[in-house]
Amino acid sequence: MKKLLLTLSAVAVLGLAANAQTEKGKFMVGGQVGFHGSSVKDTDNKNNSLIINPNVGYFVADNIAIGTGIGYEWSKFEQANYPERTESAFVLTPFGRMYSKNDGPVKFFGQLSVPMAWGTQKTDDTKTATTANYGVELAPGIAYFPTSNIGVEFKVRGLFYNNSSVTEESTDTKVTTDMYGLNVNSLAPTVGVTFHF
């Protein structure tokens, strides 16, 4: 009987901790940091990229948060017999997120975000083009709260649309590309950690 009471008490505490993390007036902090590099053996071909995009959200109501991410992206491309090329961009990603209302340490959520980025392309340190990206994404996910301050999240990209443009400096020519789709690959989710306080 003691074991049953202890187990029920532990489940109740975990349930209260998870609910407390998504209550009105709480904050959540997370983000994305990534680095990618590649090189082709026996050549001078190399690519490197870096992204830093911290975000913060505020619960305007129980289980409903709004927030934004502000970050920076950078890429460098080196290829034999071609000039060095770099791309950089300032990134802004406002979002709204709604969690399920269930009790317990696991909650489902949906996130609507509007990723935007503005940047430049350079060849040998000379600006050659400006870039602009605007999009919208509706992504499902699941969050597990092992403690009262930490959430471990699994999210797929979901439904998305992106409009990107590149404007050449020398000719003022603008090329616009639209991308859209549904990407719900449960075998390749993004994994993240958010801190709640």
Q: What pLDDT is recorded for position 12?
A: 37
Q: Considering only CA atoms, which of 79, 74, 75, 76 is closest in space to residue 40?
A: 79
Instruction: Give the three-state DSSP class for 11.
Output: helix
pLDDT band of 42, cuts 50, 70, 90: confident
**CA 175 centroid distance within chain:** 26
Q: Does residue 14 or residue 169 have the better pLDDT?
A: 169
Q: How much is the pLDDT for 7? A: 38
Q: What is the spatial distance between Cα 134 and Cα 117, in angstroms, rounded to a whole number?
A: 7
Q: Is the dihedral of CA 55, 56, 60, 62 positive or negative?
A: positive
Quote the tokens at residue 118.
């503005």
Contact 67, 54 (CB under 8 A): no
User: Above 50 in pLDDT, residue 83?
Assistant: yes
- Distances in whole angstroms, Cα of residue 105 to Cα of each of 16, 20, 32, 92: 8, 10, 23, 30
Q: Binning pLDDT at 50, 70 and 90, where does residue 20 land? A: low
The neighbour count for residue 91, using CB atoms within 10 Å, is 19
Residue with tokens 């071609």: 82
Q: Which of 46-50, 94-98, 101-105, 177-181 has the lowest mean pLDDT?
A: 101-105
Q: Give the three-class secondary structure for 135.
A: strand
Average of per-residue pLDDT values in the chain: 87
Q: Is 128 exposed, middle or buried (0-12, 13-18, 19+ CB in 10 A)?
A: middle
| C-beta neighbour count of 183 within 10 angstroms | 12
pLDDT at 1: 46
Residue 41 pLDDT level (bands cut at 50, 70, 90): confident
Which is more confident, 11 or 95?
A: 95
In angstroms, the CA 133 to CA 118 distance is: 7
Question: From the CB of residue 105, how many other CB atoms can be counted at a distance below 10 Å?
Answer: 19
Average pLDDT over residues 1-22: 46
Residue 189's pLDDT band (cuts 50, 70, 90): confident
Give the CATH number of domain 2-196; options: 3.30.465.10, 2.40.160.20, 1.10.760.10, 3.30.230.20.
2.40.160.20
- Taking only the tens place, the pLDDT of each residue in 101-142 is 988 899 999 999 999 999 999 999 899 999 999 999 999 999
| pLDDT of residue 158 exceeding 60 | yes
Query: How far is 30 from 192, CA to CA, in rounded Å?
Result: 8
Q: For the chain, how far is it from start to end, CA to CA, in angstroms?
A: 35
The phi, psi pair for 14, rounded to 5°, reads -60, -40
pLDDT at position 8 is: 35
Q: Does the structure show a pLDDT above 90 at 177?
A: yes
